[in-house]
Structure 1
Amino acid sequence: MDVSYGNEPSLAYEEPPPYSPVRGSGDGLLGEKKEDGIVVRIARTWTRTATTHVAPKKIARTTSDFLQQRTWPAIRDTTTTHVTPVISSSSRTTWNFVQDRMWSRIREYPLKATQGWAVLLLGLGIIPFVVYGALNRGWYGTFYYGAFAAKTLGCGDALGVPQNATVEGVEALFVLDWKFGQFTFARVKTIDVAWDILVGRGVQMIFWAISYRVFSDALLRLIERHPASFETFKSISLEGPGLGSSWILLKQLFRNRSRRTWFLFFYLLLASLYVLSIPPLLGAMTGYDGTTIAWVSIGDADNIIPSSQVQSSYAVYGTWNQSFDQPLCDITTGGLRDWAYHKMDMEKYCDCRLPNGTILPFSEFQYKYNSFSYDGTPTEDPYKLDDCNFRYDGQSGVYQSTWGRDSFYGPAKDWGTYKCNDSFPVTLPNGNTYSMYDLNFTTAGYCFQNKTYEYLDLVDSTRCLPDTAHPSYQWGFSSAMMGVLFIINLVWCLTMWVVWQDALRARLVKNGYRMSPLRAAFVLTEAARRRTGVGVGGLVLREKTMLKRELRRRNGRKEALVHKDIFEEGSGEGDTESGKGDVFRIRRRPVAGEHIDDLDV
């Protein structure tokens, strides 16, 4: 029985509900306490959820339905603890998934410096090589075939292949076969200069940074085996790959007897020369040419005209029984053009008669008489296509031009019903009317100044010459030179990777030491101080010629060396190296209070 509090019904039960887990544990009385004559009874109450809308419940027919409709809602309603879901929303689009899931993991991935340089070498070497080779596949999918094949240069509306347009061999390396645009000289020159400065020097700067990193690490690896000369260390650590360092490396090839060191210096020399040659190589890969147009020789070889002035036309030579004195150029008569379309309809719907008197549909004639069997032998009584005549006595067939209704040729859409034995009269520019069956003409003709020319008369006389009427320029690339550059670049990247992997085994490199021009200056100062026995202040004020004489190799005197103990912690402050000729005395003094801290980077 519900107890009322005011006018509102209570949600308390006097007895546990039938689905309560504590039902059967008594009447709900937890305890009784008596204080100062007052009896306090502590009882358990159960609450139920009040809802404003109750959906009708289905009849539980199975155990699963009973659990879903009765048991689970009862347990859920008596739950007083609300759990906040961990995931409030989910990614609903592909971009949200990429941004929230994939990119966040990529961004938080602990990419090491060595992995970053590896990705850079991969992107600069392998990826361009593979992509360019795949785009230039030739016959049978040959890799890079299109880049080194013979180049044929066209010039717009040329008739056939222009003369001297095919270039092959070494000359094809500098042929600009990928050209675009139509610029003035000032604009095309600006594009070419911008390419040389921005792309040429920009790529060289990136490759210089990579080379400096690899060269300096390889030099630290070399110093662990034996000391490096002062001049070699200075050129590599301060200049990187350059003209000065290349000259020093070339001289060192004739001084070092260690085979491993000799090969290292030889490779560093080649790698430096490639970095130095990047701007001219990229410049040779691009360029600009003046636009050309096709010219053809008419009659005499010296009489050339632009091919655009030669119009494609019908050349009418006369009738089958009599030729005209001068073939007619016809580019306006529609009957000549329509004749081919009418023949297509007649061959589809009309019957024809053979010389032996046989009348049959043209499609059956083609299959039965004017064809060959599978073994290559001709069929019975082969005939020519013209032997099947549509105009014979008793021909009463008609056809509706279905081709005209379905074509994109405007006049054909208005065609109606035609007789299969129609003569199809046509009036030529000379004013005479002829039947299409009687005319001898060709569609592969050309006309210039009312004179007809055949295609074979003009195809071998085309040449590409500058457009003097509207001069302009095009800018583009040489596909062959680009292919050579990508191959050399791939070899450079892979060999740099191999040399760098060996350099990573150096103890200093493993400990995180990275060479920089500033640190190189400190190392060179210490090496010079040890050789001369003069402090930093004395080196700054020392006469330049004398300082060079003491540090360089001259007159049997060994050059100054950079030892690995310079990079050891606590060395350098008390070491001096003095002597004359090849005899030296090293005096070491303890360092008081301070240590060289170059490794904490």
Structure 2
Amino acid sequence: MALFRIFTARTYHPKEVIGGDLEPCVSYCAFNASYTNAVPPTFPVWTARGTCTAACRKTDMMDEEEKKNDKNTTITVLSISPTLTEDRSTPPPYRGTWDNDSVPSPGKKRNWGAVFWKPKSRWIWARGDGWNTPSKPTTKATDKGFKAGYTCSRDTIWAAFKKFRSSRGQCFALALLAVFGLLPMVLLGVFTSGGPGYSPYQQVFSDKIMGCGQSLGSPQNATASGIQKLFVLDVTFGRYSFAAVKTIDVIWDLFIGRGFQICASWAAYKAFCDALLLVIERQPASFRIFQRIALEGPSLDSLWTLTKELFTRNDTRTKFLFSYMFVATLYVLMVPIFLGAMTGYDSTNIPWINLDDSNNIVPASLIKPSWVALGTKNETFKHPACVDWSVVDKARQMDTARFGRCIYDFPGNMQTFTYDPYWSDSYDQTLESGSRQRNSNHAERPGNASMDIEINGQKYDYATLKSESGYCYGDVAYDYTYFEDRTRCLPDTANPSYKWGFATMMSGLFIFLTFGWCTSLYIVWQHAQCKSTLVQTGYTMTPLRAAFAMAKAAKKKTGLAEQQLIRAYTEDLENELYGRAGLVATSIEYGLFVEEPGVGDADQMYHGVRGVRARHVRGEVDVEAK
């Protein structure tokens, strides 16, 4: 039997009670002036969900009969507490319908900006007040920064991006920059980092140690430093004959060296011509510089002409451009020299060992790692003896098996042990090569058997010998530290061969220069693409167009016809065109590239490249009509 406690903290219509939205609230009644006799309940109070207010019970409760007679009968349910004897495990059936008639309060969209930037309430502790004070100017400064960044990106960056011509030429230029500029830099940083945890390009400028296979310590005179390491071939491949390695070197110089120079010259010609058109739009260019750049391309003559132009030009921008052209042209001319210097071939060296201080050297392949017997427990040998590792390995394994499996040091011992050998050294092990083989000689031996090793014609028990590791040349034993720093890298005279490879430092310098050259050339070309009117209309300079422009300028300057220009004296013509003998040099003006009415064609006017294309189309139509 459930005990219902009814209070008047909140009134509900009877329809609201059935299926009402209630929740337990454990709180206490706050004393109020209007409820002086209120008694704070100490039991859980069921109130409407979301309100969770303390219920106060009034002492003067209304009579039950008066509530029944009231038209708007209301019932306030604040707590439903089962008795102690009632089963609490089974929830009452009305709990399943309490949430049906609930009316959720309308959700309000939260202003997250106010949450982060404008706190609704001030902190009540001291540090909160101090932090809240400078937050307003900081917020204003941040807002200004965001607005300025947005304005810049909208008006400057986005405007420039919209003007960017995503043509095939632009994509091709970016691809060339990535392949010839960026990719070699990445590969060089990966292969010269020195391993994980090291900075890239670390091995480019470090001292070079020229190794020659397995050697004892660092080879003598093998460290290259200073200017020597610039040309040292420290990354080599293969063993070739002289004819084969020479063929590889010639192919490299011909196809890689000259081929890369051709590609660089073509790229420089394109960029220089567009930049020269931009210069001509600002002020006329001399006949000589136009000839060197637009007709001939990067060459030694263009270097000399650019040098003279630097002393005759007054425009700072033009001087800077011609200075860059001088350096870029010099790089193009030096490409084959760089590529030839960073590669090469050298004789294949092998390690040689200096046995003593009298330059008595022998190949390292004749020096064998060996077991050196120094003597017995009671005797020291005058000269240490060499014993092959295979013999010592067998004796050592037998001694270990005997020591671990039986007791043999008492008279009348009859115990036996089984020799179970593991890997042993082969007889042909040297400094440069060696192998280990499986010995399957399983045998049962007596526990008191001696492990005899023959040294200089006498037999010694292995257990009584004193020994150490070392090296042997012939019958002479050497301490394992004797050959430290006695190795020399010298050519293999018995089997002469050659290797081909790269000089790391020279290769790194060339890649750095190439990256700078590619990046700067792309910037110059891109500047002309964005600033030159002729380039933006699609005009492209070629050697043929340059020849026509020069012929037109020469005809205009000298007043000679085509036939007269062809048969004129070269010296007199050069003086007038190049400005020698006190004459004013011929200049290439912007008007030469804007078509004007010609002889026999006075009724036609074509402006810019679009007019030239229209004229070309009209000519094709006339030919088809005929």
The match for 2:185 is 129
Identity %: 36
Q: What does residue range 106-185 of structure 1 map to in structure 2 within 5 Å?
A: 112-138=168-194, 140-185=197-242
Q: Distance in 1 between matches of 2:478 and 2:534?
A: 81
Q: What does residue range 72-111 of structure 1 map to in structure 2 within 5 Å?
A: none
Q: Among 448, 451, 467, which residue is 1:441 paired with?
A: 467
Q: Distance in 1 between matches of 2:229 and 2:587?
A: 50
Q: CA deviation at 1:597?
A: 7.4
Q: Distance in 2 between matches of 1:449 and 1:477?
A: 39
Q: Distance in 2 between matches of 1:195 and 1:248?
A: 32
The match for 1:560 is 586
Q: What does residue range 4-43 of structure 1 map to in structure 2 within 5 Å?
A: none
Q: CA deviation at 1:590?
A: 8.5
Q: Distance in 2 between matches of 1:279 and 1:340?
A: 63
Aligned length: 435
1:497 aligns with 2:553: no
Q: Distance in 1 between matches of 2:203 and 2:414?
A: 59
1:451 aligns with 2:470: no
Q: Distance in 2 between matches of 1:405 and 1:295?
A: 30
1:542 aligns with 2:553: no
Residues 404, 414 of structure 1: 8 Å contact kept:
no
Q: Distance in 1 between matches of 2:361 and 2:317?
A: 67
1:189 aligns with 2:246: yes
The match for 1:255 is 312
The match for 1:382 is none
The match for 1:404 is 422
Q: CA deviation at 1:312?
A: 2.1
Q: What does residue range 321-470 of structure 1 map to in structure 2 within 5 Å?
A: 321-331=378-388, 334-338=390-394, 341=397, 404=422, 410-415=437-442, 425-443=451-469, 445-470=470-495
Q: Distance in 1 between matches of 2:266 and 2:225?
A: 37
- Please give the TM-score of this superposition, normalised by the length of structure 1: 0.66
Q: Among 502, 509, 515, which residue is 1:477 paired with?
A: 502
Residues 291, 471 of structure 1: 8 Å contact kept:
yes
Change (3 A) 1:285 1:343: farther
Partner-residue secondary structure (3-state), 1:475: strand
Q: Among 289, 314, 323, which residue is 1:266 paired with?
A: 323
Q: CA deviation at 1:313?
A: 1.7
The match for 1:226 is 283
Partner-residue secondary structure (3-state), 1:148: coil
Residues 423, 436 of structure 2: 8 Å contact kept:
no
RMSD over equivalenced CA pairs, Å: 3.1
Q: What does residue range 192-211 of structure 1 map to in structure 2 within 5 Å?
A: 192-211=249-268
Q: Distance in 2 between matches of 1:317 and 1:194?
A: 58
Q: Quick one: which amino acid aligns to residue 520 of structure 2?
A: T
Q: CA deviation at 1:249?
A: 0.7
1:528 aligns with 2:585: no
Residues 570, 594 of structure 1: 8 Å contact kept:
yes
Q: Distance in 2 between matches of 1:144 and 1:397?
A: 66
Q: CA deviation at 1:527?
A: 1.4
Q: Distance in 2 between matches of 1:239 and 1:276?
A: 14
Residues 401, 420 of structure 2: 8 Å contact kept:
yes
Q: Quick one: which amino acid aligns to residue 191 of structure 2?
A: L
Deviations 1:146-168 (A, max 9, x none): 22222111223433221001112
1:301 aligns with 2:358: yes
The match for 1:514 is 540
The match for 1:586 is none
Residues 173, 522 of structure 2: 8 Å contact kept:
no
Residues 425, 433 of structure 1: 8 Å contact kept:
no
Q: Distance in 1 between matches of 2:399 and 2:344?
A: 52
Q: Quick one: which amino acid aligns to residue 114 of structure 1?
A: Q
Q: CA deviation at 1:546?
A: 1.2
Change (3 A) 1:278 1:409: closer
Q: CA deviation at 1:277?
A: 0.4
Q: Distance in 2 between matches of 1:174 and 1:424?
A: 61
The match for 1:591 is 602
Q: CA deviation at 1:272?
A: 0.4
Q: Distance in 2 between matches of 1:222 and 1:410?
A: 79
1:281 aligns with 2:338: yes
Residues 291, 467 of structure 1: 8 Å contact kept:
yes
Question: Larger deviation: 507-516 or 398-407?
Answer: 398-407
Q: Quick one: which amino acid aligns to residue 120 of structure 1?
A: L
Residues 335, 426 of structure 1: 8 Å contact kept:
no
The match for 2:271 is 214
Partner-residue secondary structure (3-state), 1:161: coil
The match for 1:241 is 298
Q: Distance in 2 between matches of 1:478 and 1:161?
A: 20
Residues 423, 437 of structure 1: 8 Å contact kept:
no
Q: CA deviation at 1:537?
A: 2.7
- Please give the TM-score of this superposition, normalised by the length of structure 2: 0.64
Deviations 1:247-306 (A, max 9, x none): 111111111121111110000000000000000110001111122222222234232222
Q: Quick one: which amino acid aligns to residue 404 of structure 1?
A: Y
Q: Quick one: which amino acid aligns to residue 126 of structure 1?
A: L
Residues 423, 435 of structure 1: 8 Å contact kept:
no
Q: CA deviation at 1:179?
A: 1.7
Q: Distance in 2 between matches of 1:256 and 1:346?
A: 98
Q: Quick one: which amino acid aligns to residue 591 of structure 1?
A: A
1:319 aligns with 2:376: yes
Q: CA deviation at 1:435?
A: 2.6
Deviations 1:340-392 (A, max 9, x none): 55677789x679xxxxxxxxxxxxxxxxxxxxxxxxxxxxxxxxxxxxxx977
Unmatched 5+ residue regions in structure 1? 1-109, 352-389, 575-588
Q: Distance in 2 between matches of 1:259 and 1:399?
A: 97
Q: CA deviation at 1:593?
A: 3.9
Residues 232, 249 of structure 1: 8 Å contact kept:
yes
Residues 405, 413 of structure 1: 8 Å contact kept:
no
1:487 aligns with 2:512: yes
Residues 150, 168 of structure 1: 8 Å contact kept:
yes
Q: Distance in 2 between matches of 1:410 and 1:111?
A: 67
Q: Distance in 2 between matches of 1:405 and 1:153?
A: 35
Change (3 A) 1:168 1:399: farther
Partner-residue secondary structure (3-state), 1:216: helix
Residues 350, 397 of structure 1: 8 Å contact kept:
no
